[in-house]
Copies of this chain bind each other. A is one copy, B any other.
Amino acid sequence: MDWDDIQFVLAVAREGSLSGAARVLGVNHATVLRRVTGFEQKLGLAIFERTARGYRLAPHRARVLAAMQAMEEAALGVGRALTVARAPLAGLVRVTSTDSICQAILPPIIARLQAEAEGLRIELSAQNQHADLARMDADIAVRPAEALPDELVGEVAGRLGFGVYAAPGGEAGWLGLSGPIARVRAARWMAETIPQANIAGWSDSFLVLREMAAAGQGRAVLPCVIGDGDPRLARLAGAMPEMNVDLWVASHADMVDVPRIRLVREMLLAALRQDSPRWLGQING
């Protein structure tokens, strides 16, 4: 199998046309045509449907495309490894995130990154205050959000699931979210649904809420990555509609192209994407 053919197929699938793919790849569109048709003939399998307006993925080919995209991810990983080998980057990269993510998701990933890029120092800072992503005393932010402000450039690493958790016997009242995290959709749902009078305690930290819930003070809306691992808590099925939020990995637009920051951001993104399936929790998933 010719690995290069897959790059052509991917580009055509993304752009929706031979000409578009040719522009992206920087080759003649005739080349794209011959590579793609040749690939299909070698395989005896149609990947695309031809229309006059362009190429569209044939039905029942989503799985094939997904496998190819996984291969592209791996190819980007090779590129990063080569970058590191070629010019061992040094310096400090500051990563900021919420305290929950800093505890439940990032540590093993940061440790792996540290090991892969020696010479680079990665600093992890937990800050729930600047969750608005505007003022950011860091090089890279890992934040749940529905959209990214203009000053920041980044990509989505995956989706965080939320659930309602309580200790056995502690399902009486509710625990409320204050501060910036109150903006995530699950928190807004709670603000709209639960009367303030029923709320027994407040915090701006999911970790603190988890401890309060574990102590039996009430039900708390928590990210599944926080709640599912805790043996003291049980998830209340059907207590809230399924609400997921994107987790972004972003940098200031000005800092996007600083080599060491770009490298860490890309490695972080790849590692988070690999980890992301478990974020949805055991019911949402």
Q: Which B residues touch A4, using CB under 8 A?
A: 2-4
A80 close to chain B: CB less than 8 A: yes
A68 close to chain B: CB less than 8 A: yes
Bound Cα distance from A71 to B45, whole angstroms: 23
Q: Which B residues touch A80, using CB under 8 A?
A: 67
- Chain A 40-52, CB-CB to B under 8 Å as 1, else 0, gives 0001110000000
A116 close to chain B: CB less than 8 A: yes
- Chain A 58-97, CB-CB to B under 8 Å as 1, else 0, gives 0011011011101101110111111011100000000000
A231 close to chain B: CB less than 8 A: yes
A30 close to chain B: CB less than 8 A: no
Chain A residues touching B, range = 20 to 34
Contact yes or no, B85 A64, CB < 8 A: yes
A7 close to chain B: CB less than 8 A: yes
Counting every copy of the chain, the complex holds 2
Interface residues of A in 102-142 (CB under 8 A from B): 116
A1 close to chain B: CB less than 8 A: yes
Residue of B nearest to A230 (CB): B231
Q: Report if A45-B77 is in contact (Cβ < 8 Å); known contacts: A4-B4, A63-B116.
A: no
A153 close to chain B: CB less than 8 A: no
Interface residues of A in 209-245 (CB under 8 A from B): 231
Bound Cα distance from A68 to B79, whole angstroms: 9
Q: Report if A66-B81 is in contact (Cβ < 8 Å); known contacts: A71-B74, A73-B74, A75-B71.
A: yes
Nearest first, the 3 A-B pairs at minimum CB distance are: A231-B231, A3-B3, A71-B74
Interface residues of A (CB under 8 A from B): 1-4, 6-7, 43-45, 60-61, 63-64, 66-68, 70-71, 73-75, 77-82, 84-86, 116, 231
